[in-house]
A and B are shown apart, each in its own frame.
Chain A
Amino acid sequence: MTGKYFSSLVAFSLGLVIWLLSVLLNQTTSLPLIREMSLFAGAAFILVALVQRFQATNWSGTDRLSLAGYTSIATLAAIMLVYGGIPEQWGSARLLFGGAAILGLGATVLIVVPTVPRKILLSLWVIFHFGGMFTSFASIDPPGSQGPFLAKHLWTFVYRPYLSFFYLTNAYHFYSPDPGPPNLLWFAVHYSDGSYMWIKIPTREKGQIGMHYQRVLALPEHSFSQNPRMPFTRSQVAGLRADQYDENNIWENIYDRRIRGSGVRYSARGQYIPLVTDIDVNVQFREPNDTSKKLLAAVANRVLKQAPKREGLSVRSVKIYRVTHQMLTPYELSRGISPFVKQKYWPYFMGEFNTEGEMVNPMDPFLYWYLPIVKVPATYPNHAPRDPQSGLPVFAVNLPAVEPNFELDCLEMHAAGPAKETNR
Chain B
Amino acid sequence: MKAIFGKLYELIAPAIRGWDHFWFTPMDPTTLATVRIFGALLAFYVHLCYSWDLFGYVGPEAWIDKDLALYVRNDLPVYRYGIDYLEGPVEFTHGNYFWSAYYHVWNPIGIIAVHTAILLSMLLFAAGLWTPYTGLASWMGAMCYVQRATSTVFGLDTMTMIVLLYVQFGPSGAVWSVDRWLLERNARRKGEPLAPVEPSVSANFAVRMLQFHFAFIYFASGTSKLLGTSWWSATAINLVMLNPAFAPIDWPAYYGMLKSLAENRWAWEFFMSFSIVGTLILEISFIFLVWDKRWCWLLVSAATMLHTGIGLIMGLSSFSLMMFVMLISFYPPEVIKTVVSSLMGRKPLMMVGS
Residues of A within 8 A of B (CB): 47-48, 51, 89-93, 95-96, 119, 122-123, 126, 130, 133-134, 137, 140, 142-143, 146, 149, 152-153, 156-157, 160-161, 164-168, 170-182, 184, 202, 204, 209-219, 222-223, 291, 294-295, 298-299, 301-302, 305, 325, 327-331, 333-334, 336, 339-340, 344
CB distance from A174 to the nearest CB of B (A): 5
With a CB–CB cut-off of 8 A, which chain A residues contact B97? 95, 160-161, 164-165
Asked if B132 lies at the interface with its beta carbon under 8 angstroms from chain A, I say: yes
On whether the beta carbons of B133 and A182 are closer than 8 Å, the reply is no
The docked-state distance in angstroms from the alpha carbon of A384 to that of B265 is: 36
A176 neighbours in B (Cβ, 8 Å): 221, 224-225, 227-228, 231
Q: For the complex, is B327 an interface residue (Cβ under 8 Å from A)?
A: no
A297's nearest neighbour on chain B, judged by CB, is B68
- A95, B146: Cα distance in complex, Å: 16
Which of A48, A95, A175: most chain B Cβ within 10 A? A175
Interface SS of chain B: helix
**What's the least CB distance linking A146 to chain B, in Å?**
8
Shortest distance from the beta carbon of A411 to any chain B beta carbon, whole Å? 17
Known: A133-B213, A172-B217, A327-B243. A334 touches B262 (CB 8 A): yes
- If the complex has contacts A177-B227, A182-B245, are A330 and B268 also in contact, measured as CB distance less than 8 A? yes
Contact between A179 and B236, CB atoms less than 8 A apart: yes
1/0 contact string of B231-252 vs chain A (CB within 8 Å): 1000010111011111001100
Say whether B289 faces chain A, with CB atoms less than 8 Å apart.
no
Evaluate contact between B61 and A305: CB separation under 8 angstroms: yes
CA distance A217 to B245 in the complex (A): 8
Interface residues of B in 31-71 (CB under 8 A from A): 45-46, 49, 52-53, 56-57, 61-65, 67-68, 71
Q: Which residues of B contact A179 (CB under 8 A)?
A: 230, 236, 239-240, 243
**Closest A-B pairs by Cβ, 3 of them:** A182-B245, A177-B228, A172-B220
| B153 within 8 A of partner (CB) | yes
Complex CA gap A94/B104 in Å reads 12
Chain A contact surface mostly: helix
**A-B CB contact pairs (8 Å), 13 listed:** A51-B132, A96-B99, A130-B216, A137-B216, A164-B97, A173-B220, A178-B230, A182-B245, A202-B245, A214-B156, A218-B152, A222-B151, A340-B244
CB-based contact B315/A126 at 8 Å = no
Q: In the assembled complex, which residues on chain A have CB atoms less than 8 Å from the CB atom of B262?
A: 330-331, 333-334
Known contacts A177-B230, A295-B151; 15 additional CB pairs below 8 A are A89-B104, A96-B140, A137-B216, A137-B220, A167-B158, A173-B224, A176-B224, A214-B316, A215-B152, A294-B68, A301-B61, A302-B61, A328-B242, A330-B238, A331-B262
Verify A218–B52 contact, CB threshold 8 A: no
Tell me if B242 and A168 are in contact (CB < 8 A). no
B-chain residues with CB within 8 Å of residue A301 when the two chains form the complex: 61, 65
Tell me which of B73, B149, B161, B220 contacts A166 (CB under 8 A).
Answer: B161
* Selected contact of A182 from candidates B155, B162, B243, CB within 8 Å: B243
A96-B99, A214-B315, A340-B244 known; A153 vs B80 contact (CB < 8 Å): yes
- Chain A residues whose CB sits within 8 angstroms of the CB of B63 once the complex forms: 219, 223, 298-299, 302
Count A-B pairs with CB separation below 8 Å: 221
Which residues on B sit within 8 Å (CB–CB) of A344?
A: 244
Which residues from chain A contact B68 at a C-beta distance below 8 Å? 294-295, 298
Contact A302 B56 (CB under 8 A): yes
CA distance A95 to B103 in the complex (A): 12
Known contacts A96-B99, A298-B68, A339-B249; is-contact A218 B220 (Cβ 8 Å):
no
A51 and B133 alpha carbons, distance in the complex (Å): 9
Q: Could you tell me the distance in whole angstroms from the C-beta of A350 to the nearest C-beta in chain B? A: 15
User: Known interface pairs A152-B81, A204-B250. Does A333 touch B227 (Cβ–Cβ under 8 Å)?
Assistant: no
Within 8 A of A (CB), among B127-158: 132-133, 136, 140, 143, 146-147, 149-158
Tell me if B181 is interfacial: C-beta within 8 Å of chain A.
Answer: no
Chain B, range 69-100, C-beta contacts under 8 Å to A:
71-74, 76, 78, 80-81, 83, 92, 96-100
Q: Which chain B positions have C-beta within 8 A of A166? A: 161, 165
Measured CB to CB, the closest approach of chain B to A321, in angstroms, equals 16
Do the beta carbons of B158 and A170 come within 8 Å of each other? yes
A172 touches B221 (CB 8 A): yes
The residues of B that contact A222 with a CB separation of less than 8 Å are 150-153
Bound-state CA distance A96–B97 (Å) is: 10
Which of chain B's residues have a CB closer than 8 A to the CB of A161? 97
Q: Which of B19-27, B192-200, B328-336, B339-347 contacts A (4 or more CB under 8 A)?
A: B19-27
Task: Decide: A133 and B216 in contact? CB cutoff 8 A.
Answer: yes
Q: Tell me if B153 and A123 are in contact (CB < 8 A).
A: no
List of A residues within 8 angstroms of B53 by Cβ: 212
CB of B263 closer than 8 Å to a CB of A: yes
- Tell me the complex Cα distance, A329–B233, Å: 14
CA A175 – CA B244 in complex, angstroms? 15
Q: What is the minimal beta-carbon distance from B269 to any residue of chain A, in angstroms?
A: 9
The chain B residue with its CB closest to the CB of A214 is B154
Distance, CA A142 to CA B224, complexed state (A): 9
Which of chain B's residues has its CB closest to A157's CB?
Answer: B80
Q: Which of chain A's residues have a CB closer than 8 A to the CB of B354?
A: none
Given known A153-B80, A178-B236, A325-B244, contact A211–B65 (CB-CB < 8 A): no
> Contact check: which of A133, A210, A339 meets B242 at CB < 8 Å?
A339
Cα–Cα distance between A140 and B228 once the two chains are bound (Å):
14
* Chain A residue nearest in CB terms to B103: A92
Bound complex: CA of A130 vs CA of B166, how far in Å?
13
Contact with A210, one of B19, B224, B317 (Cβ below 8 angstroms):
B317
Q: Which chain A residues lie closer than 8 Å to B224 at the CB level?
A: 137, 140, 171-174, 176-177
Contact partners of A218 in chain B: CB under 8 A: 151-154
